[in-house]
Structure 1
Amino acid sequence: MLESVPIKRLVTRLLILVVAMFAFGFALVPIYDVMCKAFGINGKTSGQYEGEQVVDPTRQVRVQFLSTNAIDMVWEFHSKADEVVVNPGAVTEMLFVAYNPTDKAMTAQAVPSISPAEAAMYFHKTECFCFTQQVLQPGQRIEMPVRFIVDRDMPKDVKHLTLAYTLFDITARQPPVAVHTGG
């Protein structure tokens, strides 16, 4: 009977630990958003943008492009240029190149991020390969456009933006494709 008190205490502590782990998992996304905002990293871009912009010829903003592959992605993936200088309000296009060096078809999804984070709300994509999944056949190479506008309302002290894409292999998440055998 003396051993039941320590066992009850252990069970109680383990239950508290499980509840704390669940609460931490539940709060992780808001905590991540707050930390990113505090440190000015990983600005989330908005979805597709449709609007009229007037070009501001008196300002220039340098937009740098970064492209990385997630740990399991084997494609070659890069922008055609490392950076461009744009006038706020002007529609700008950049091409990204993807190449599937494998012997199997693969599906990818690009996830964008803008730095500094406070500039993300002023960076508008009118067309982006990140809006859809990209399927490449073995050995296939494609050019994928992103068209964007840097908003004229962006704070004047922001003179440099970084648009970063991470490319993820989502082939395993795709439903199997039926093959028609002609019968």
Structure 2
Amino acid sequence: MLESVPIKRLVTRLLILVVAMFAFGFALVPIYDVMCKAFGINGKTAGQYEGEQVVDPTRQVRVQFLSTNAIDMVWEFHSKADEVVVNPGAVTEMLFVAYNPTDKPMTAQAVPSISPAEAAMYFHKTECFCFTQQVLQPGQRIEMPVRFIVDRDMPKDVKHLTLAYTLFDITARQPPVAVHTGG
């Protein structure tokens, strides 16, 4: 009977630990967002923008493009140019090139980030390959556009921003495709 009290206490503590770990895992994304905002890193971009802008011809902003593959992604992935100089309010397009060098179809998802973080709310994408998953067949090469507007209301001291994409292989997360054999 003496052994059952310590065992019950141990089981109770372990259950509390499991619940606490689950709660921490559930709260991790909001905590991450708060920490990133507090430290000014990982500027997330909003979804598709449909507003109107008037071009400011007196001001220029340099937009740099970075493209990175996640560890397990084997595609070639890069922008056609390293940077562009834009006038706030003007719609600008940049093409990104993706190539699947493997012998199997693959699906990818691009995740954007803007730096400095305070500029993210002034960077509006009107069209972006990051809005949808990209499926490439073996050996296929495609050009993927991103169209964007740097808002006229962006603080005047921000003269340079970076749009970075990380490309993730999400092939394993896709449902299997049924193959029709005829008949």
Cα deviation 1:21-71 (Å, max 9, x = unaligned): 122112111110001101111111111111221111121111111111112
1:5 CA drift (Å): 2.6
Equivalent residue pairs, number: 183
Residues 157-166 or 173-182, more deviating? 173-182
1:166 CA drift (Å): 0.9
1:147 CA drift (Å): 0.6
TM-score normalised per structure 1: 0.94
Residues 31-40 or 44-53, more deviating? 44-53
1:89 CA drift (Å): 0.5
Q: How many percent identity over aligned positions?
A: 99
1:90 CA drift (Å): 0.8
Q: Secondary structure at the match of 1:78?
A: strand
Q: Which runs of 5+ in 1 are unaligned?
A: none
1:175 CA drift (Å): 2.3
Find the aligned partners of 2:9 and 2:151 in 1 and give their Cα distance.
Answer: 59
Find the aligned partners of 1:175 and 1:3 in 2 and give their Cα distance.
Answer: 50
Aligned to 2:12: 12
Q: Secondary structure at the match of 1:148?
A: strand
Aligned to 2:46: 46
The structure-2 alpha-carbon separation of the partners of 1:177 and 1:19, relative to structure 1 and needing over 3 Å to count, comes to: closer
Cα deviation 1:71-93 (Å, max 9, x = unaligned): 21100101111111111101111
1:4 CA drift (Å): 2.3
Find the aligned partners of 1:133 and 1:30 in 2 and give their Cα distance.
Answer: 24
Aligned to 2:107: 107
**Counterparts in 2 of 1:23-172, with a 5 A limit?**
23-172=23-172
Q: Which runs of 5+ in 2 are unaligned?
A: none
1:128 CA drift (Å): 0.7
Find the aligned partners of 1:19 and 1:111 in 2 and give their Cα distance.
Answer: 31
Q: Secondary structure at the match of 1:43?
A: coil
